[in-house]
Amino acid sequence: MFKIFQHKSNLLNKIIIYFRKVHILKRLLISFLIVILVPTIIIATFNYRTYSKEMESTITYYLELLTENIYEILLKEMEYYENLSYKVYKDEYISSLLIENEKIALNKESTTEDKSKYEQNKKIINDMLFTLTSDHEYVSNVQIITPYDQYTQISRDERKKGAIISNLNIFRNSPEYTDAINNNGYPLWFDQPQGQTIFLNQNNNNQTIFNHISMSRSLIDFHTGKTLGVIHMNIDLRFLINIKGIKFDNKGNILFMSKAGSLMSLNENVKIPAISQDSEIVEKIYSTSSGSLTEYISGKPYLIYFKQLPNSPYYLIYIIDKLSIFSSSKTIFKLNFNVLLICTFLALILAYMVTLSIIIPLNKLKKNMDKAARKNLNVFYEDNSNDEISNLGNDFNNMIGDIESLIDNLYKAEINEKTLNFRKKNAELNALQMQINPHFLYNTLDLIRWESMYEVNGESKVSTMIEDFSKLLRLSVKKGNDLVTIAEEINHIQAYLKVINYKYTNKILLKTNLNFDISQYKISKLTFQPLVENSIIHGFVNNPLDKTIEISGSVVNEKIVITIKDNGIGMEEDKIKEVKNSLSNKTIITNKIGICNVNERIKLYSSDKFGLSIYSKYGEGTIITITFPTTIDTNSVSKEGLYV
């Protein structure tokens, strides 16, 4: 559980980090847009779909009622034609004529008189059939087909109408005949297959009766129950158009359709797409007696409701353009969409204004912070608002005030501390330099020199030594600034070595190689002498011959680099580590003017990036490198010598 929580937390952090990479203005605008659009689109889509489903359900119910209404009207109309055939069915006179003609047809020994009687009976039946449909314009044909003959519509004066069956054997084997006989006198409706030439116009045998539906019922002898034949009636499909009581709207249409191919549109005012007999839609319709479908025809959706007529292959199919009935829902959807656009536009303007009210003061505060980061504390954030950003700006102003006060206190404390440290170091240095009183020595040595010259009546080696030593003391106690030129330092080293060389038979050789004007650059007084003294005292202990000290230097990138190299004995590894640690830890050696004192004074007059570095190897001598700036601002050096 903890791992799952940790994983979610890590994922949330990654998402937050990703969003933090986006500008606040874009972030807020996108957020406002998502908050506005997503719920609105979801609600609009949900409402549209809900409304569409409710409307589709209502329309389907409406189609069902309309189809049922037409269905009932059509049943009454078909019942009318069934009743018309029933007049023949119940007419006993026709039945008696058919029974009489059947006997004559079966009598192989019938006479001419019998045959004449047969033709007379047939004419009576034909005339009755002719008269039966005289007032019914949509009845294309009424016939009686027996196992031995057919009776057609021919009047007594030889007028013909209707049709004659071209091949009785084919018809007697058709469902219209066989199913009617098996149905015991009840009417059955059939669909004439398209393209067949069974029924030929009696007035023109080359003309086929087409585009009609058929109804058949058997004729029964009520006394014996024997089937005498079949009454067959053909009705023109145009009767469907003029059925009274059927009302249509302008959006849908009723199709009267069968499997055999009969098709009639009951609403001629509406154009409908063609439905192929071999299409999947027709197969779905014919697979059940009633139902509803939503199908695409020619790329457009149609809502279909269908119902089969009883005792027939005919279907009533109501088809309506789904887009037309959902036009109102589309109008609502467009209205919602337009409202959404307007609301989104207004929301974006509002979001933009709100975002600017946040971004502008934040940018202003950021600029002040950037100035403060560049050590410009003379900044003040001014905002008269009373929001969180204004409060943050006030806190920033208070913080800047506290920082200025703290810096001022720290700065003063640091100055005081450095001043005290420098005074301490200066006092220590003065104490070291005053371990012997150079003025007293200088005056005493001058008296000794004159006394020596008096004794020998002129200059001697002793008086010369005293004079050189006096010059060294004179350079050491020279009054003025603690900074001297490099040339003066070199002169001091030369005077120092001149005095020291009186001690040695093999003199110490001083070499200088300074490739710049040494009179133009200044350095702290008594910088070289302690380092040369260390070489003499510690480096030349066991080196009576060839004692050489070389001072070389150059100016590199606004700093002076001077090396003091001796060919003495050098230092062991432990000793060199100790000296380097003293230099890095600023350890002050108080009992002599040594390397650490020189290093500390250079840093005091410049900065910590300058000073001494040392390299030494036992048996190979020592190299001390001095680095200091080319320019020292003497105005920034206090009377005590502090560089600030």
pLDDT at residue 125, rounded to an integer: 92
Query: Are the CB atoms for 543 and 568 separated by under 8 Å?
Result: yes
How far is the C-alpha of 625 from the C-alpha of 563, rounded, in Å?
4
Class (C level, CATH) for 417-636:
alpha beta
Residue 298, phi-psi category: left (phi > 0), alpha (psi -120 to 50), beta (remainder)? left
Averaged pLDDT for residues 382-411: 78
The highest-confidence range among 90-104, 127-141, 457-471, 604-618, by mean pLDDT, is: 90-104
pLDDT digits (tens, 9 = 90+) for 37-78: 777 778 777 776 776 677 767 777 777 777 788 788 888 888
pLDDT at residue 503, rounded to an integer: 74
Residue 504's pLDDT band (cuts 50, 70, 90)? confident
When mean pLDDT is compared across 130-139, 231-240, 417-426, the lowest value belongs to: 417-426
How far is the C-alpha of 450 from the C-alpha of 462, rounded, in Å?
11
pLDDT at residue 54, rounded to an integer: 75
Query: Are the CB atoms for 44 and 333 separated by under 8 Å?
Result: yes
When mean pLDDT is compared across 21-35, 82-96, 422-436, the lowest value belongs to: 422-436
The highest-confidence range among 184-198, 436-450, 540-554, by mean pLDDT, is: 540-554
Q: What residues pair up with 216 in beta bridges, in sequence order?
A: 188, 232
pLDDT at 558 over 90: no
Residue 405's pLDDT band (cuts 50, 70, 90)? confident
Averaged pLDDT for residues 594-620: 84
Q: Has domain 91-240 been given CATH number 3.30.450? A: yes
pLDDT at 151 over 90: yes
pLDDT at 475 over 70: no
For the residues of 272-304, what is the DSSP string, one character each? -----TTSHHHHHHHTSSEEEEEEEETTEEEEE
Residue 626's pLDDT band (cuts 50, 70, 90)? very high
Sequence letter at residue 33: L
pLDDT at residue 231, rounded to an integer: 94
**Domain range annotation of the chain:** 91-240, 248-325, 372-406, 417-636
Greater confidence (530 vs 451) lies with 530
Give the list of residues 6+ apart from residue 331 with CB closer than 8 angstroms, or none: none
Residue 594's pLDDT band (cuts 50, 70, 90)? confident
pLDDT digits (tens, 9 = 90+) for 72-92: 888 888 888 889 889 888 988
When mean pLDDT is compared across 31-45, 164-178, 305-319, the lowest value belongs to: 31-45
The highest-confidence range among 38-42, 546-550, 638-642, by mean pLDDT, is: 546-550
pLDDT at 329 over 70: no
Residue 273 sits at φ, ψ, to 5 deg, of -75, 155
Instruction: Give per-residue burial for 523-533: e unless 16+ CB within 10 Å, then b.
Output: bbbbbbbbbbb
Greater confidence (460 vs 58) lies with 58
Greater confidence (397 vs 450) lies with 397
pLDDT at residue 451, rounded to an integer: 58
* Averaged pLDDT score across all residues of the chain: 78
Give the list of residues 6+ apart from residue 213 with CB closer than 8 angstroms, or none: 189, 190, 191, 192, 234, 235, 237, 258, 262, 312, 314
Greater confidence (27 vs 117) lies with 117
pLDDT at residue 637, rounded to an integer: 46
Residue 145's pLDDT band (cuts 50, 70, 90)? very high
Q: What residues pair up with 625 in beta bridges, in sequence order?
A: 563, 613
Residue 637 sits at φ, ψ, to 5 deg, of -100, 120
pLDDT at 31 over 60: yes
- Reported in sequence order, the residue ranges of 39-184 that DSSP labels E, i.e. its strands, are 139-145, 150-151, 163-165
Q: What is the torsion angle, in degrees rounded to the nearest 10, for the CA atoms of residue 257, residue 260, residue 262 and residue 266?
A: 0
pLDDT digits (tens, 9 = 90+) for 203-255: 887 777 777 888 899 999 888 888 999 999 988 877 777 665 566 566 677 77
pLDDT at residue 420, rounded to an integer: 61
Which pair of tokens denotes residue 343? 């609301």
Residue 588's pLDDT band (cuts 50, 70, 90)? low
pLDDT at 191 over 90: no
pLDDT digits (tens, 9 = 90+) for 331-369: 766 777 777 778 777 877 877 777 777 778 878 777 888
pLDDT at 183 over 80: yes
How far is the C-alpha of 226 from the C-alpha of 579, rounded, in Å?
146
In a 13 Å sphere around the CA of 385, the CA atoms on its Cβ side amount to: 14
Which pair of tokens denotes residue 156? 């007594």
Alpha helices, DSSP H only, in 434-558? 438-456, 461-476, 486-500, 528-534
Q: Has domain 248-325 been given CATH number 3.30.450? A: yes
Query: Are the CB atoms for 253 and 319 separated by under 8 Å?
Result: yes
Alpha helices, DSSP H only, in 190-303? 280-286
pTM score: 0.46
Which pair of tokens denotes residue 210? 């087409």
Q: What residues pair up with 55 in beta bridges, in sequence order?
A: none
Residue 638's pLDDT band (cuts 50, 70, 90)? very low
Q: Do the domains 248-325 and 91-240 match in fold?
A: yes
Which pair of tokens denotes residue 194? 């398209």
Query: Are the CB atoms for 266 and 284 separated by under 8 Å?
Result: no
